[in-house]
Amino acid sequence: MINMTKRMTMLILLTIHLFAIPIFADEAPFSLDKSDLVAEAAILINEDTGQVIFEKNANIPMFPASTTKILTALIILEDCDLNAEVTIDEKVPYVDGSSIALETGEVLTVDQLLHAMLMVSANDAAEALAKFHSGTVEAFTMVMNERAASLGALNSNFENPHGLPNENHVSTAYDLAMIAKAAMEIPYFREIIMTPRYTIPANQVKTEDRVLNHSNKFIPGVPGSSDKINVRGETVTKGYDLMTGIKSGYTTIARHCFVGAIEKDGRRYISAILKSEGVNMYIDTRNLLDYGLYSVSSYMLYEENEVVTSLSLNDARQTTIYLHPDHALSVDLGYEVSANSLIKEVTTTDHPVLPISKGEILGEIKYYLGDKVLCEANLIADDDYSGEDLMSAEIEHYDHIPFYKDKMFYLSTGIKLLLALIIWRTIVTWIRLISLRRKRRLQRRKY
């Protein structure tokens, strides 16, 4: 692990590396308090960065109901062929709750079952997909928990693929938002969750087509989307053309749950609410997502390849290593928060050792609001930096310092001459000794 000891903390100035995206003029900014939401748990995150913008009991495990199916769909889309055929076994038709009345022996594609699961929250479709993927529901839930943990959803435990009540089947608003963030990166997931109407053709068992109307009333045009709700004192329809998903859930114990997503002018947010009540599921979701669009400003702090700082090495070459973040750094701030309140902390490794490879982690950068980290990134080397080459280092050294002004030159030259003199004297003495011995031998022979 890198030993980070060099620290630099500074207050960000609004004019330096801080470019605000203006608040949209078609809606006035508004404040949002935890008490404004009926839901017992809630969260709002930036879909691109994952930054948490608003939260209420966001890390308390609760029952997620059918929002569970977001994770099921994510795994199926990652691992399965959409055109693969699934034969319904004898147990699937008896799954409780909402269904598309699957029957033993009928064959549907993975794609058809995904539409049924996400559009009308079919529990039988979810269980059929789980068994197709892993062989058993129990084996599939092991995959669910592993995949959730890999996404940072560490306070969840999934016992089934659909969210039917189980005392050990829990998740959190934060975990569901992270799972949804990953799912929304799959274009086909985004397509399915915004499909208003879908038909599953008749097959060898079912003689009539199944027509699926999406149950998400946030989608304009679906049944119930024209129903009225009151949002911040204004009567509006449930249908909302800025929504991009995602999934509702309900059981008598979980109450009304919803994971939502919205996009406008390139800005994308994800919300999650747990244990809301009735129509308040829609109102809570609108308040969260609208808060992201109209009461939050986005600031670009550093582009991905923009130099943040540098390290100067005390080597013969006086090497300078330039560091940039491993991803672009941006932050969202509510309209009531001043950008001047942000604190930047840059930490670098104490004694970097050559050679250093391009992309090697040599530090980190964090932005704080009070004690809370809003965003962070590793700082990486911008290029390859080789180890010292003594010959080239010496040449470079003398290129900059004339030899007649360099004390090291005289010291080095003197040492070399002294060594040469010692070697020469040793050789001469050795030759003389040999010659003297030869003379003595000749003299002995004469006598």
Segment 79-95, tens digit of pLDDT: 999 999 999 999 999 99
Question: Higher model confidence: residue 256 or residue 404?
Answer: 256
CA atoms within 13 A on the CB side of 53: 35
Do the strands 329-334 and 267-276 form a parallel or antiparallel pair, or are they unpaired?
unpaired
Question: Higher model confidence: residue 17 or residue 331?
Answer: 331
pLDDT score for 28 = 84
pLDDT score for 445 = 59
Give the pair of three-digit tokens for residue 118.
């996400």
pLDDT score for 350 = 87
User: How many other C-beta atoms are found inside a 10 Å radius of the C-beta of residue 406?
Assistant: 14
User: 4-19+300-381 in CATH: which number?
Assistant: 2.60.410.10
Quick check: 409 pLDDT over 90?
no
DSSP secondary structure letters along 239-290:
--TTEEEEEEEEETTTEEEEEEEEEETTEEEEEEEEEE-TTHHHHHHHHHHH
pTM of structure: 0.80
Q: Where are the domains of the chain?
A: 4-19+300-381, 24-294, 401-446
pLDDT by residue (tens digit) across 216-246?
Answer: 999 999 999 999 999 999 999 999 999 999 9
pLDDT by residue (tens digit) across 6-44?
Answer: 444 444 443 345 544 443 435 789 999 999 999 999 999
Closest CA to 91 of 102, 79, 83: 102
Give the pair of three-digit tokens for residue 338.
């001043």
Specify the CATH superfamily of domain 24-294: DD-peptidase/beta-lactamase superfamily (3.40.710.10)
